[in-house]
């Protein structure tokens, strides 16, 4: 029996160590998050962030935070590979415009409902219009004149000084949980 | 290699001379040292330089092509990298992906509200139609 107490070679090396052509040791920080079945995940992350930067980032986090951190890094890296100019910011800009459009649609639907009620004499107390106040945009509103993602965030409309600071998992699914983003899949080849 | 009068923020940070053709200097002016500090912390100078310099056009007609990033696009690259780096520093776990999740959640909520409002309207409309179509008077 070989003295491989520090060597993970009895298991397949993780995707990171395979890519970096090094031994995958027992305490490898990448191994839990970059399985060998998903090589592309590490390829993208390494291409955009670099292995040493990822190591530093992970070392600054608690162990239970690292999986989500790696998944978000992989998501950002893939977005950047697909869109080398805007990366994730392109998606953010698109989604903000969608929020604006839908908010207008909601306002119009509520106005129609109230107008309908007035015309038909339905008591307003019987109405339960959607609480538009509850739908305050979480992020600062996007100026509709700025359709260019670059202009949007350069002008500070994408979360300027409103950045995360969130260290807890959000109470809703993440893009990699149920593939909300459809084609962005951090899986391997 | 001529030296500018003043170095850009990147070259100051990296403690090197700032050449006239410095790829960083148009996008990381010395007036905003924090901007480069953020991107350097998350991506590293070499990766930022690569991303400013080149776009790899993947699967273009079946093969990869490396193309230089057009000058006018480089500011967008720099701005988006800065934004994402800032998000990552402020939220080391989710970075700007947290934004995306919140936006998608918001979209879902608004769509549900719209559907509810429309359903409510249809409900009142059908109720009104039933009243109108009540016992007819012959």
Note the ipTM here: 0.80
Q: pLDDT of A84-99, one tens digit each?
A: 999 999 999 999 999 9
Q: Judge if pTM exceeds 0.95.
A: no
Closest chain A CA to residue B105 = A172
Do B9 and B56 lie in a common domain? Answer: yes
Do B109 and B76 lie in a common domain? Answer: no
The number of distinct structural domains making up chain B is 2
Do B127 and B105 lie in a common domain? Answer: yes
CA distances from B53 to A65, B15, B56 (A): 33, 21, 10
Burial of B40 (0-12, 13-18, 19+ CB in 10 A): buried
Q: CA-CA-CA-CA torsion for B47, B73, A175, A161, nearest 10 degrees?
A: 90
Do B66 and B117 lie in a common domain? Answer: no
Q: Given the structure tokens 């988006």, which residue do they identify?
A: B80
Interchain pair A164, B95: CB under 8 A: yes
Interchain pair B87, A164: CB under 8 A: yes
Interchain pair B124, A102: CB under 8 A: no
Q: pLDDT of B96-121, one tens digit each?
A: 999 999 999 999 999 999 999 999 98
Q: Residues of A with CB below 8 A from B47's CB?
A: 48-50, 53
Residue pairs between chains A and B whose CB atoms are closer than 8 Å: 188
Do B69 and B135 lie in a common domain? Answer: no
Interchain pair A99, B92: CB under 8 A: no
Nearest to A61 among B87, B92, B113 (CB): B92
Please indicate whether residue A83 or residue A160 has the higher confidence score (pLDDT): A83
Supply the pLDDT for residue B55.
Answer: 65
What would the 3-class secondary structure string for B23-91 be?
CCCCCCCCCCHHHHHHHHHHHCHHHHHHHHHEEEEEEECCEEEEEECCHHHHHHHHHHHHHHHHHHHHC
Structural domain of residue B7, as residue ranges?
A: 3-90
Do B64 and B103 lie in a common domain? Answer: no
Do B47 and B98 lie in a common domain? Answer: no
Interfacial A residues in 24-43 facing B (CB < 8 Å): none
Do B85 and B99 lie in a common domain? Answer: no
Interchain pair B92, A105: CB under 8 A: no
């Amino acid at each position: 029996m070989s003295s491989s107490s520090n060597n993970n070679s009895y298991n397949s090396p993780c995707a990171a160590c395979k890519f970096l052509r090094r031994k995958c040791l027992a305490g490898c920080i990448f191994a839990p998050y970059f399985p060998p079945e998903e090589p592309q995940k590490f390829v993208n992350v390494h291409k955009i962030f670099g292995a040493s930067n990822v190591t530093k980032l992970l070392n600054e986090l608690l162990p239970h935070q690292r999986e989500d951190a790696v998944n978000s890094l992989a998501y950002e890296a893939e977005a950047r590979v697909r869109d080398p100019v805007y990366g994730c910011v392109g998606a953010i800009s698109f989604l903000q415009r969608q929020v604006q459009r839908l908010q207008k649609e909601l306002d119009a639907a509520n106005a129609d409902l109230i107008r309908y009620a007035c015309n038909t004499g339905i008591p307003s107390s019987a109405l339960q219009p959607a609480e538009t106040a509850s739908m305050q945009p979480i992020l600062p509103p996007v100026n509709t004149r700025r359709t260019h993602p670059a202009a949007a965030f350069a002008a500070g409309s994408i979360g300027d000084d409103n950045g995360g600071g969130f260290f807890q998992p959000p109470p809703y699914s993440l893009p990699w949980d149920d593939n909300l983003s459809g084609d962005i899949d951090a899986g391997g080849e | 290699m001529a030296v500018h009068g003043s170095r850009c923020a990147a070259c100051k940070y990296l403690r090197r001379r700032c050449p006239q053709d410095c790829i960083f200097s148009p996008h990381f002016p010395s007036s905003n040292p924090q901007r480069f500090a953020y991107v350097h912390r998350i991506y590293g100078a070499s990766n930022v330089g690569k991303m400013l310099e080149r776009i790899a056009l993947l699967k273009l007609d079946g093969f990869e092509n490396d193309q230089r990033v057009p000058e006018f696009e480089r500011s967008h690259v720099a701005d988006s990298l800065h934004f994402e780096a800032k998000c990552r520093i402020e939220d080391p776990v989710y970075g700007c992906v947290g934004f995306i999740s919140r936006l998608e959640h918001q979209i879902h909520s608004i769509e549900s509200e719209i559907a509810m409002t429309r359903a409510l309207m249809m409900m009142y409309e059908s109720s009104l139609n039933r009243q109108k179509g009540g016992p007819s008077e012959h």
